[in-house]
A and B are shown apart, each in its own frame.
Chain A
């Protein structure tokens, strides 16, 4: 048998597959920024391919512009306390969406309402996601008794008829914007918590968690550095979908008269229309305008959420 003329104990420079040209800059932080930007650009490129996602995005941008106009635009023309023109006029050149029983332009009301509806939807979602993500991460990461306890609370939240709970809470806390946000926030987190927990359970078993533990990392380190970044895509995609639900919830609560009467939202408009008997008076435009707005916004958020989910979740790709 011949002696093996193999390579002795040397250490050849390992060849690297160049994925893309990297600027040879010295500062790691700067290149990291460049890489992040590129990742974002890649995401955008993928996202642009999705017709559904782009349609949703365009609708959202339009409504956002509307809300911004309501906040910063000329207040005189949209002050709902001032009466204009004819009472219950159908849509015309002057009043594209018609007027209500006080002669106020429904367009003005809808523009004003977009501000409140979007504001409530977004803040309630932030609250809901924060609670949901925190409960999900703690339950999933700690496991055992903590997990059991938190998940039973979550199940309880899931099976409770949320509308009934929201009505009770709203009547307890009182009718203010803050109250509405709080009510929606604390009733809509359980689904998020379940989702995040499932994700964290799978992340917890990944070997890099064990590596971090072997390096001496604390639980906080593991959660902040490893669990959260890897759970983030799921949390983000879920956030978009939750906003849609929150806006619907706000509408429902306002429609039931639990909203803040001084801050009219789309739901409040619907309630006013309903109690003024818009249906019997034949003033369909009073109901149709806010109704279509709600449907469009909810649909747009859902479409964006699905498009994002498709990019982020590799299992949905190539379907």
Chain B
């Protein structure tokens, strides 16, 4: 089945939806370590620009997939949105207001699901204690309708598919399977009735047959509780099965963002195309694979940061179009090429301009 044959369904997220989280020009840098003697001579460690100017709007009830190679800054961005990573520049707004100094109220609204469910659960706590931890931190001892803590914990567990919840109360994490542990992590987030869930590779540590169930659970919760979900993943196939919108990151920037159908079936950026080409499938070994060095956030190239690996530049097509010097020297921002579909590529800009000219 080729990709072109499939017709797309209209995107679920529409621009009219209310913006829950807005990120503007966010920057996170890491300082590399230096040895004692270099440090004494005033030498600084190399600066690694993990997130290098990202702007993003998250709309209520949508599932946004953040995808890219490791080292592209997707996890750092997610952690920065969670307030777990100090930022060096830019703003994060929640429901139109900048994040306050005291993050505790915000943390109740934005919860995280982690990659490794085994490590995320304290081995010395019972499942009950793990779920009730959030309630206790926030001093919640009754639910909105006066439910006792025990009932809130039970509700969260059964929402996460662990039924009957009482049977799980006094178990320890090591007595559960990987899938069940990830459900416990999700239940621990749900108990605080969050608005947003940030899931960092939520299924990549799980067995293949269990993954679908966990993703289904997230989708069901989105529908029932109107949750907004960010899923960080390296797997574009996963993005296809869950995401409304997909953002592709490369070296700390979003290089393409738009409705999942557009980005995954009609990619504009050569990097997105390259990522799609390496998704394993029958006969896929004949397709091109990017060469060149893997991206290094301590040495971000000038111009379009993808140009050293870009097949458009390499094949000479960029020179043909007369954009090669811009690719190599001029940095560029995202531009809307189709409704809601943005990309940052000079070649795509030319294609879009030609398209509008003929219409």
Contacts and interface: CB of A to CB of B under 8 A. Distances in A.
A and B in contact, CB less than 8 Å: yes
Given A28-B170, A211-B185, A215-B133, A206 B119 contact: yes
Contacts of B171: 16, 19
A interface residue count range (under 10 / 10 to 19 / 20 to 34 / 35 or more): 20 to 34
Contacts of B192: 215
A317 interface: no
Contacts of B216: 9, 11
Contacts, number: 97
Contact of A11 (B114, B120, B161): B161
Interface in A193-236: 206-208, 210-218, 221, 225-226, 229-230
B168 A16 contact: yes
A225 B133 CA distance: 9
Most B CB atoms within 10 A — which of A16, A19, A216, A229? A216
B169 A28 contact: yes
Contact of B120 (A1, A22, A208): A208
A210 to B, nearest CB: 7
B1 to A, nearest CB: 7
Contacts of A49: none
B170 A17 contact: no
B84 A210 contact: yes
B175 A1 contact: no
B137 A221 contact: yes
A185 B217 CA distance: 55
A237 to B, nearest CB: 16
Nearest to A211: B120
A99 to B, nearest CB: 54
A14 interface: yes
A211 B183 contact: no
Most B CB atoms within 10 A — which of A9, A28, A213, A215? A215
Interface of A: 1, 9, 11-14, 16-17, 19, 22, 24, 28, 31-32, 35, 206-208, 210-218, 221, 225-226, 229-230
Given A16-B167, A208-B120, 14 more contacts: A1-B1, A12-B161, A13-B164, A14-B163, A16-B176, A17-B175, A206-B119, A208-B122, A211-B121, A211-B185, A213-B84, A214-B107, A215-B133, A230-B122
14 contacts: A11-B217, A13-B163, A14-B162, A16-B167, A16-B168, A28-B169, A207-B115, A211-B112, A212-B137, A214-B84, A215-B111, A215-B192, A218-B137, A229-B124
